[in-house]
């Protein structure tokens, strides 16, 4: 696991650096391969921006969040990346098992009714 943290237009403190490192490191448990991430923390005017590029094997994820608090931005970008990773993992599992994709369920709700009746009995 390799996490690089860069500060732009702000003084980087150890507290913010450690907080960002801990939050991004928690994403490793959702990934099969070792991850590499670049975290950029910046200030533009009154907005605090957290931007993360994360790669693990051949998969890549990216998220950016803005707020008035750097810690809140880090939390929001962590949540966004976690959702992306879970969605990608769910899609790959469904593909391997020949299951119905989320797009197919959205387009045809009758498939959902058939699939739920299969799982019950």
Mean pLDDT of 90-97: 68
**pLDDT tens digits, 62-79:** 999 999 999 999 999 999
pLDDT greater than 70 at residue 114 = no
**pLDDT tens digits, 17-61:** 999 999 999 999 989 899 999 999 999 999 999 999 999 999 999
Please tell me the distance from the alpha carbon of residue 30 to that of residue 50, in angstroms, as a whole number: 21
Instruction: Please give the full DSSP string across 18-85, using - where no structure is assigned.
Output: HHHHHHHHGGGGG-SS-EEEEEEEEEETTEEEEEEEEEETTEEEEEEEEESSHHHHHHHHHHHHHHHH
Please give the structure tokens belonging to residue 39. Answer: 């975290």
Q: What's 45's domain CATH number?
A: 3.30.160.100
For the chain, how many structural domains are there in total? 1
Among 4-13, 60-69, 94-103, which stretch is predicted with the lowest mean pLDDT? 94-103
What is the reported pLDDT for 117? 56
Domain around 78: 2-120
pLDDT greater than 80 at residue 90 = no
């Amino acid at each position: 696991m390799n996490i690089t943290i860069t500060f732009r237009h702000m003084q980087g403190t150890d507290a913010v650096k450690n907080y960002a490192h801990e939050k991004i490191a928690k994403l490793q448990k959702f990934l099969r391969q070792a991850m590499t991430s670049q975290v950029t923390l910046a200030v533009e005017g009154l907005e605090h921006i957290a931007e993360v590029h994360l790669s693990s094997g051949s998969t890549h994820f990216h998220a950016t969040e803005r707020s008035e608090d750097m810690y809140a931005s880090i939390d929001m970008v962590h949540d966004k990346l976690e959702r992306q990773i879970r969605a990608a993992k769910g899609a790959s599992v469904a593909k391997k098992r020949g299951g119905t994709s989320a797009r197919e369920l959205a387009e045809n709700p009758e498939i959902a009714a058939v699939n739920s009746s299969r799982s019950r009995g």
